[in-house]
Structure 1
Amino acid sequence: MATANTPPAPASPLERPGTFKRLYLWTLSLAARPAAQLWLAVVAFVESSFFLIPADVLFVPMALANPRRAYRYALIATAFSTFGGIAGYALGYFAFDALARPVLAFYGKLAAFEALRACAGPDTTLLLLTTSGLAHLPPIKVVTILAGAVHVGLGFFVISCILARGARFFALAFLLRSYGPAIRHFIERRLKLIAFGGASLVILLYFGLKLLTGSGQLLSC
């Protein structure tokens, strides 16, 4: 039985003070390296299955430094984010207990994942793929693994990744190419809120249509 003197459970390595900030700054520093495009591909790939920092952190300063290549960077980020999503899907589909569960536990996302898996059917998971691609809601790595675990069709999964993540990166490329450094503050402070609002609207529209059409349960739990 726990007492007032019982020490708390050890925190995840990523919850220790300063860990996230150091990882963020290291990712940001990659934008100034000669192999920045390669690093963008790597970060976009690993973000979709196990890495904590989103590729946007690297993409934005790269596009600002070279606006003429903004759409090229958006294509790289979209393509490798989709490839990383497929890797996360495979973890959920083929190796959830052996590999995906420890990854989710390491990031402190296992409880959130189990709650989603208990309630989300394949169609709801596709909706979550859209909102996570647009606004990281829920985190991309959680939803890609979930898609594999509930056996969403791979073709639909890939299309949703391309459309949602492509929309995010190409919208950023357009803004950065058109407005340059002046738009950076807006992107860092406001764009996430707008994307969150858009993702919330997609969710509301989805559930509204489900209610109006009476097409089964909203959730499977």
Structure 2
Amino acid sequence: MNFFGAMYDKTMEWSKHRLAAYWLAFVSFIEAIFFPIPPDVMLIPMAMTKPQSAVRFALICTAASVIGGMVGYSIGYYAFDLVQQYIVKWGYQTQWDKAISWFKEWGVLVVFVAGFSPIPYKVFTIAAGVMQMAFIPFVLTAAVSRAARFVLIAKLAAWGGTKFADKLRRSIEVIGWSVVALAVIAYLVLK
């Protein structure tokens, strides 16, 4: 079965599309609010296929993510009662509780860590609004954190380039099914 290979091929095809940078911005923006897939899925292949534009792609990703983070913050600040049900419905309650406890303990530093955390970024943007974190420090910290993450990812992908893309394609089924197996095991163990 070539499930992950087909997805990989489609992603690589999309990364070369003339509107790819716009789609990258869109995915980065909505991921900071509600979308479950991180922009890395587009950023990495775009940086691998066009290494000379990797930093530009990372900055597009950063700007859109920070703007999306501001929207997420606003949702938390002004409309949390309306979206609270979705935190439970979409299975983010555990991550939500952890984010809130981190905000109480660490304040603005949590936003910096959130840029690199495996916990979905949207949880932190909305939590920052709920906790009524100071807006300017939130935006500045989010910008630094997201830029550091996306530039690092883009530079690594560009460094690997098309050679790495070819090697990754040959191993994508093993990698993909291994991640699925680890996720299932983690779910069963942590449940």
Query: TM-score normalised by the shorter chain: which range applies?
Result: 0.7 to 0.9
Q: Partner amino acid for 1:66?
A: K
Q: Which structure carries more helix by proportion?
A: 2
Structure 2 match to 1:203: none
Structure 1 match to 2:136: 155
Change (3 A) 1:158 1:139: same
Q: Partner amino acid for 2:137?
A: F
Q: Secondary structure at the match of 1:167?
A: helix
Change (3 A) 1:70 1:112: closer
* 2:115 equivalent among 129, 133, 139: 133
Change (3 A) 1:63 1:131: same
* 2:63 equivalent among 70, 79, 82: 79
Query: Is the Cα–Cα contact under 8 Å of residues 122 and 147 in structure 1 kept in the other structure?
Result: no
After TM superposition, give the deviation of residue 121 of structure 1 in Å: 4.2
* 1:145 equivalent among 101, 119, 126: 126
Query: Is the Cα–Cα contact under 8 Å of residues 88 and 141 in structure 1 kept in the other structure?
Result: yes
Structure 1 match to 2:149: 168
Change (3 A) 1:116 1:68: closer
Matched residues, percent identical? 33
Equivalenced residue count is 162
Distance 1:114 1:178 in 2: 38
Structure 2 match to 1:112: 95
TM-score by length of 2: 0.74
* 1:63 equivalent among 43, 47, 56: 47
Query: Is the Cα–Cα contact under 8 Å of residues 128 and 138 in structure 1 kept in the other structure?
Result: no
After TM superposition, give the deviation of residue 123 of structure 1 in Å: 6.1
After TM superposition, give the deviation of residue 46 of structure 1 in Å: 0.6
Distance 2:97 2:157 in 1: 38
Gapped regions of structure 1 (runs ≥ 5):
1-20, 190-221
Q: Which has the higher contact order (CA 8 A, sep 6+)?
A: 2
After TM superposition, give the deviation of residue 64 of structure 1 in Å: 1.1
TM-score by length of 1: 0.65
Change (3 A) 1:64 1:166: same
Change (3 A) 1:34 1:156: same
Q: Secondary structure at the match of 2:154?
A: helix
Distance 2:155 2:144 in 1: 16
**Please, which moves more after superposition, 88-97 or 31-40?**
31-40
Distance 1:27 1:84 in 2: 26
Change (3 A) 1:168 1:65: same
1:103 paired with 2:86, answer yes
Gapped regions of structure 2 (runs ≥ 5):
176-191
Change (3 A) 1:131 1:120: closer
After TM superposition, give the deviation of residue 111 of structure 1 in Å: 4.1
After TM superposition, give the deviation of residue 25 of structure 1 in Å: 6.6
Query: Is the Cα–Cα contact under 8 Å of residues 45 and 157 in structure 2 kept in the other structure?
Result: no
After TM superposition, give the deviation of residue 141 of structure 1 in Å: 0.8
Query: Is the Cα–Cα contact under 8 Å of residues 48 and 140 in structure 1 kept in the other structure?
Result: yes
After TM superposition, give the deviation of residue 132 of structure 1 in Å: 1.8
After TM superposition, give the deviation of residue 120 of structure 1 in Å: 4.0
